[in-house]
Structure 1
């Protein structure tokens, strides 16, 4: 495993991080979830990402139990706040002070930890003054409940506004968590430059495009049973790719490139996002421990300019890079 500094902060994260969206508490039984976390730990992963909304708080609880007994100082635990949790009352969502304060306390209990390494605003909340949000973040940092603040799927102007408030309040604002892959490059034109200015690094999700970049989804054929495409949440994110037969055909043309550099297609996809110097870590998910063991082999891989050029040539015309589609 290789490690990188997250943005301009002093926090080191593993190049590959383990995330439990969709899987823990819903798609995968607890015993299997624990086996996947063990495989991640055995592979050198130290960075674990979750959110209170995943499986309506159950995913945090599963991760907390799976990590119980591990040396806390050797882990980086990330979670998020914004989406509705619990019964869905009027203050059970968003980035207001009440919801942030109550949510961080709930996450700490479920994760069985005294502090969260990076606490992330899961989306931007236009209904709450940004000053209120960042003051609440400042308070939970000062209280020792959180070490660093991050965001997820924020646009460039939102990142800049948040960074300005973070500087005023002396809040360590260090990361953004966007979707990013060979196929989905919407962060490159605006979000990455804004993040570099503000000292943020990216912790990217869906580096294999919900499995599309493994090549298992074939044009004109139904998705394999048990795949992300058959999950209600995962299917919503993957549908834009599966409905594009030209895209699925071009993905198949990546196979010889992967073989040329001695990687599986999933490893090639993960290694590709890690070539971006603003990316601190790529999040992988898994339903089986073997998937973790295979995908971590993308850590430390360097793809030369000729390989990157071949990938761009193969995917020309199907890459999505409109910054307006982010967030």
Structure 2
């Protein structure tokens, strides 16, 4: 599978990837967005910002880039960057299908994305992704699987995904919501011809939301690559919003709250890739210090104590405004 290239990387940042959710569209739910992006959120402005982040990340050893059909024009921005750099042939590209972007490049749309895990949506979005990324696409994931998702039981969809896998594409899934662990375990049971269908799982995991950890450990044991998203809890773990305990550990380490929060995730033995969702170069540079953070057992315990009840975490996340 393509993620073997990440495991073989020699750079210290090989386990950090760059996700483009925050810069592929003008509106998102991350805190501090007005400060990060300012008022100019035209497509050209965000394209230039995305390319600047990709250049900096690649120069620092980042080799996994994560986009999705619903992240506005993120696939297009990444495709443009790749086309302009034909010598960049050692990156791993992952995208996701299952949500359709509907905001029309607005920050105050009534709906920013619409979810549909049906076969017709897969076929349409796979064609759209292929048009932009073509053979540069390594990983295609079902976006935000929940336990009631029809993608877990649709045999025809499974057959089409298995065909894609037979053609060399890695097939994975992501999860969201308070029942992530249940969704992960249900997806691990999906087989085609007696073989597991999914080879990667991408889940929300951070110091505030830890409920999926046992299921991710099971996925790792089953041979899946684990990708962690929303490690900063949509900005809740970044200064100035970080809890006091995180700020204290960051001060002790001499690095940022974000680096400490991501380092806490990197300490998990099942972690394959942790996504940075940086929207600025300063954020990216700070995120990339995570592998250098040395947390002792007492500091880890203080951070472990930050975990919230999953229902409360996801309720608060659902209340974050698009801005």
Q: So what's the TM-score if we normalise by structure 2?
A: 0.74
1:290 is paired with a residue whose SS is: helix
Q: 1:116 to 1:321 in 2, by over 3 A?
A: farther
Residue deviations 1:61-103 (CA, integer Å, cap 9, x gap): 0111123224454011010011135799xxx953333322332
2:278 is paired with a residue whose SS is: coil
> Is 2:154 the counterpart of 1:130?
yes
2:144 is paired with a residue whose SS is: coil
Q: 1:156 to 1:149 in 2, by over 3 A?
A: same
> Is 2:265 the counterpart of 1:273?
yes
> Is 2:49 the counterpart of 1:24?
no
> Is 2:308 the counterpart of 1:320?
yes
For residue 78 of structure 1, what is the aligned residue in structure 2? Answer: 94
For residues 174-213 of structure 1, the aligned pairs below 5 Å read: 174-188=199-213, 190-213=214-237
For residue 303 of structure 1, what is the aligned residue in structure 2? Answer: 295
Contact 2:67 2:96 (8 Å CA) reproduced: yes
Shift of 1:42: 0.9
Alignment equivalent of 1:99, drawn from 121, 127, 139: 121
Shift of 1:16: 0.8
Runs of 4+ aligned residues of structure 1 deviating over 4 Å after TM superposition are 85-88, 323-327
Contact 1:186 1:326 (8 Å CA) reproduced: no
Output the CA distance in 1 between the equivalents of 2:77 and 2:67.
10
1:74 is paired with a residue whose SS is: coil
Shift of 1:171: 5.5
Residue deviations 1:259-284 (CA, integer Å, cap 9, x gap): 22232111101101111111111111
For residue 319 of structure 2, what is the aligned residue in structure 1? Answer: none
Point out where structure 2 has 5 or more consecutive residues left out of the alignment. Answer: 8-13, 27-36, 105-113, 316-323
Output the CA distance in 1 between the equivalents of 2:228 and 2:215.
12
For residue 39 of structure 1, what is the aligned residue in structure 2? Answer: 56
Alignment equivalent of 1:173, drawn from 192, 198, 215: 198
Residue deviations 1:175-214 (CA, integer Å, cap 9, x gap): 21111111111212x4224423432232111212222222
Shift of 1:290: 2.5
Output the CA distance in 1 between the equivalents of 2:197 and 2:137.
13
> Is 2:91 the counterpart of 1:66?
no
For residue 284 of structure 1, what is the aligned residue in structure 2? Answer: 276
Q: Which moved more, 1:201-210 or 1:67-76?
A: 67-76
Output the CA distance in 2 between the equivalents of 1:252 and 1:158.
32
Contact 1:141 1:171 (8 Å CA) reproduced: no
Contact 2:17 2:64 (8 Å CA) reproduced: yes
Output the CA distance in 2 between the equivalents of 1:172 and 1:166.
5
